[in-house]
Amino acid sequence: MKTVSLVTAEGMQKLKNKLKHLISVERPALSKQIADARDKGDLSENAEYDAAKEAQGLVEMKISKLKESIQNSRIIDKSKLDNSKVQILTKVKIKNQRTNKTMEYQIVAESEADLKQRKISINTPIAKGLLGKKVGEVVEIIAPGGTIHYEIVEISL
């Protein structure tokens, strides 16, 4: 059963760019490496040939997965989102009840997650705990380090 993934227009473009790079740059380079290694003689004892064939298999697998991911992705229209509750693409400011430390994250698709940019995957425990909640609610997140209580301070797009 295929899973539909929700992505932003920018996220879809990144996936397509990555696929294009694999097909137009990496695949031809590996084909050339294989041809060069084949020209060196006996393939049964040719480590360069084996390594290039293995790398080609990995690139083909990445291409296949990216094509499937693009096919199963749907672009989200931000203008149709409701920011009264936490959902994908919303930015949420939360306050740790124990430490009073405030953090802000944007909930995004798995393929767009980047902790440095404060974008967390919809599949993380924090995002799962926040989904559907409103400003003022306190959520309990079970993390590897124990249970953490967060208050939702603000939700925006």
Domains within the chain, CATH numbers bracketed: 5-75 (1.10.287.180), 79-156 (3.10.50.30)
88 within 8 A of 76, measured Cβ to Cβ: yes
Q: Residue 147 contacts by C-beta under 8 Å, 6 or more apart in sequence?
A: 140, 141
Band of residue 43 on the pLDDT scale cut at 50, 70, 90: low
In this structure, what are the phi and psi dihedrals at residue 144, rounded to the nearest 5 degrees? -55, -30
Sign of the Cα torsion 116, 121, 125, 131 reads positive
Identify whether the C-beta of residue 155 lies closer than 8 Å to the C-beta of residue 84. yes
Q: What is the pTM of this model?
A: 0.67
Chain centre to alpha carbon of residue 122? 9
pLDDT digits (tens, 9 = 90+) for 107-119: 988 878 888 999 9
**pLDDT at residue 152, as a whole number:** 92
Burial 100-116, CB ≥16 within 10 A → b, else e: eeeeebbbbbebbbeee
Confidence category of residue 2, pLDDT binned at 50, 70, 90: low
pLDDT at 38: 80
